[in-house]
Amino acid sequence: MGFLKCQIIVIFLFYYLIIAQPNFSLQCNVTEYPPNGTYHTNLNTLVSSLSCNIDSDGFYNATIGQDQDRVSAIAQCRADVELQACRDCINNATRLILEKCPSKKSAFEVYDVCLIRYSNESFIGTMSTDPRSIYFVLGDFSNPQLFFNQYLEPVLTSLRTRASAGGKRKFAANVFSAPDFQTIHALVQCTSDLSARDCYECLTAIYSSLLGCECYAKRGNYYIMPSCIVRYEPYSFFNESLLAEAPPPLLSPPQPASLPPPPPPPPVVIFVVCIPVILMKRRKRKLVYKRESIRDDDTSSAESLKYDFSTIRAATDNFSNDNKLGQGGFGPVYKGKLPNGQEVAVKRLAANSGQGDLEFKNEVLLVARLEHRNLVRLLGFCFDGTERLLIYEFVPNASLDHFLFDPVKRKHLDWERRSKIIGGLARGILYLHEDSRLRIIHRDLKASNVLLDAEMNPKISDFGMARLFVMDESQGITSKIAGTYGYMAPEYAMQGKMSVKSDVFSFGVLVLEILGGQRNSCFINGEYVGNLLSYAWRNWREGTTSNLIDPMLRGGSGLVSDITRCIHIALLCVQENVADRPTMAAVVLMLSSLSLALSVPSKPGYYMQIYVSPNTSPIQGYKSRLTSESNRPAKSKSICLSQNEMSISELDPR
């Protein structure tokens, strides 16, 4: 069922004294192997040998068996632990994992100062970020933002660099002073089978999660992924005398006079298992528009992305209409073939982008660094006089709207493919919002901006475009509204207020279109003429949600149940109240976890209780409803919009 996999989400609450250390974290896979078979024998043989084979660096990995009886395992100890203590820990962990995960094909355990992982799948040398666990110490710093910006972030950034470049052990630790008269002990480590780059990315994933859930406000955290850990506590928990590299000197705290008296030590620790922590409120950011410039050591990267204009002109046959793929608000797109045979898509930007050559090159370099499997990859750029060209990877299956709104081609979009498309879009948007080096709001998510590759995987296009055009983006309010009727969030379309929740709204509209196979604009169903959101809300309240499902998708009761859950999530995304909409992190979790309860949605944006003319746009209908409710003219400024115009904003580079 695509990404809609049942994952059991369980929250355990254990209470410990503040000086206590969590004993173990254990994750058992649901897939089982037959008892007393070859896999069972191989597993017991391999796991039982981990302790005696662990080396002086505290790491061991091995694989035994063939085909379906093949099992791989790793064991690793923290780098500050002596060999005998390491082996004792592995012995205890082995007994526990076999006892607690009987007949399970894969499991992952962190026990005291060591970890064990085994699986029937090949994972050695591959970064894994799930399943994940987090412990955190109750009690917040008096000024969490100050603690993160001036203390925690610089230390963790340094530890990440040291660990990823730290040889086989991939370990780094530090002790530093913090506000509220606290001394913080911090440690990071990756499994030794990872490359330096994978170690760096694994630790980055933890940093992003800590930032996203505001866990950094806590006085201590212990975040565990299969491939790496990050831990910091207000007490000593590692053996500093055994560290290969002594920690740097304590950082100087601010003047004590500026800090409030320290609160009493927090009494308990809460242990939260799996990923629900990312549902916690995302850190509110001040939307400040900034620009970055290319450093000297980035010059070679910029030049590697630059194409000669003559090369691109020849690749597109002098921008021939026969090679024209489409027309967007920022200019036409052409198919081209480079001299090495690589097919590309070339966006020829409008002549007046408002930027000089250097500034344009700087921005392209920043956007080109954004890489995700669900984003169209920017390969390079070209400028010649007033010409501005962007060169993208060529995606063969055109855009989603060519399939979704064509009665014949839509047959290729079964439930499995549509669910995969929805999940990929959610993960791509989450990357733009939370995990990329730049915080990007797309502002024009719609079916025509979603391209499909050869395997029908979705790739979001036209992200980062606002960086290439000079716009007034300060404080999250823009005087230039760019988007498409029906997809834009009401607060953005009416008042120019944008946030990540604007993209969440657009995503919800797009999901309803994918599930129903109908456009939101000029939506017609029987005698009902209005917009898709109002129709969806009416059917939801009347218990006739199945009316929203594309007839091509209607099958067994189980299938309808999964699609109905997707509709429920979409309605949460399109709620009129911005604060009620979930973040994309929450959306990804809801899509992947059938066991997670969903809240009841409230009224969607652009909701109309009356039938309207098919020529009435959702914004016009929305204004009409506001007028009737307030019995006075709607106070909204005049907005000039183009259905073809698209752009995205960059906020708060990181």
CB 345 within 8 A of CB 393: yes
Position with higher pLDDT, 578 vs 279: 578
pLDDT of residue 103: 86
pLDDT of residue 191: 93
As a whole number, mean pLDDT of residues 162-170 equals: 85
pLDDT of residue 574: 95
Position with higher pLDDT, 255 vs 312: 312
C-alpha span between 314 and 299 (Å, rounded) = 26
Q: Which of 507, 419, 513 is nearest to 457 (CA)?
A: 419
The one-letter amino acid code at 487 reads Y
As a whole number, mean pLDDT of residues 239-262 equals: 44
Is residue 56 exposed (0-12), middle (13-18) or buried (19+ Cβ within 10 Å)?
A: exposed
133-279 shares its CATH topology with 296-393: no
The one-letter amino acid code at 159 reads L
Over residues 47-60, the pLDDT tens digits come to 888 988 888 888 99
Does the pLDDT of residue 285 top 60, yes or no? no
C-alpha span between 47 and 428 (Å, rounded) = 38
Contacts of 54 (CB under 8 A, 6+ apart): 60, 75, 77, 83, 86, 87, 90
CA dihedral 376, 380, 385, 387 (to 10 degrees): -20
As a whole number, mean pLDDT of residues 555-584 equals: 89
Boundaries of every domain in the chain: 24-119, 133-279, 296-393, 412-651
pLDDT band at 640 (very low <50, low <70, confident <90, very high): very low
Does the pLDDT of residue 7 top 60, yes or no? no
CB 346 within 8 A of CB 418: no
Over residues 197-226, the pLDDT tens digits come to 899 989 988 887 777 666 667 778 888 999
As a whole number, mean pLDDT of residues 373-402 equals: 88
Which numeric CATH code is attached to 24-119? 3.30.430.20
Percentage of the chain modeled with pLDDT above 90 = 29
pLDDT of residue 505: 95
pLDDT band at 522 (very low <50, low <70, confident <90, very high): low
pLDDT of residue 256: 33
Residues found in the chain: 654
Over residues 393-445, the pLDDT tens digits come to 999 888 999 999 898 899 899 999 999 999 999 999 998 888 776 678 888 89
Position with higher pLDDT, 537 vs 557: 537
Looking from the CA of 85 toward its CB, the CA atoms found within 13 Å total 13
Strand partners, 62: 73
Which numeric CATH code is attached to 412-651? 1.10.510.10
pLDDT of residue 352: 52
pLDDT of residue 483: 61
Position with higher pLDDT, 150 vs 202: 202
Peptide bond into 256 cis (omega under 30): no
Does the pLDDT of residue 646 top 60, yes or no? no
As a whole number, mean pLDDT of residues 515-521 equals: 85
Over residues 68-102, the pLDDT tens digits come to 889 999 999 998 888 899 999 999 999 888 888 88
* Least confident stretch, 110-114, 325-329, 617-621: 617-621
Q: Which of 352, 446, 388, 404 is nearest to 644 (CA)?
A: 446
Q: Which of 100, 122, 77, 106 is nearest to 25 (CA)?
A: 100
pLDDT of residue 13: 29
Hey, how many other C-beta atoms are within 10 angstroms of the C-beta on 130?
Answer: 14
End-to-end Cα distance, the chain: 36
**Would you tell me the crossing angle of helices 196-212 and 153-164 to the nearest 10 degrees?**
160
Residue written as token pair 């060529």 = 394
C-alpha span between 464 and 450 (Å, rounded) = 14
Residue written as token pair 């109240």 = 577
pLDDT band at 24 (very low <50, low <70, confident <90, very high): low
pLDDT of residue 212: 64
C-alpha span between 461 and 609 (Å, rounded) = 35
Q: Which of 213, 211, 230 is nearest to 221 (CA)?
A: 230
C-alpha span between 181 and 329 (Å, rounded) = 55
652 flagged as catalytic = no
The mean pLDDT value of the chain amounts to 75
- 262-284 burial by CB neighbour count: b if 16+ within 10 A, else e? eeeebeebbbbbbbbbbbeebbe
Hey, how many other C-beta atoms are within 10 angstroms of the C-beta on 529?
Answer: 16
Contacts of 611 (CB under 8 A, 6+ apart): 527, 528, 529, 530
Hey, how many other C-beta atoms are within 10 angstroms of the C-beta on 578?
Answer: 17
Which numeric CATH code is attached to 296-393? 3.30.200.20
Active-site option among 198, 444, 462, 550: 444
Does the pLDDT of residue 457 top 70, yes or no? yes
pLDDT of residue 360: 65
Does the pLDDT of residue 478 top 60, yes or no? no
Does the pLDDT of residue 292 top 50, yes or no? no
Per DSSP, the residues of 367-378 read: HHT---TTBPPE
pLDDT band at 287 (very low <50, low <70, confident <90, very high): very low
C-alpha span between 291 and 649 (Å, rounded) = 12
C-alpha span between 240 and 97 (Å, rounded) = 29
CB 530 within 8 A of CB 520: no
Position with higher pLDDT, 257 vs 308: 308
Contacts of 256 (CB under 8 A, 6+ apart): 181
Which range of 130-134, 284-288, 420-424, 639-643 scores highest in mean pLDDT? It is 420-424
CB 250 within 8 A of CB 256: no
pLDDT of residue 37: 87
* Least confident stretch, 151-165, 237-251, 338-352, 582-596: 237-251
Which range of 23-37, 350-364, 498-512, 523-537 scores highest in mean pLDDT? It is 498-512
Which numeric CATH code is attached to 133-279? 3.30.430.20
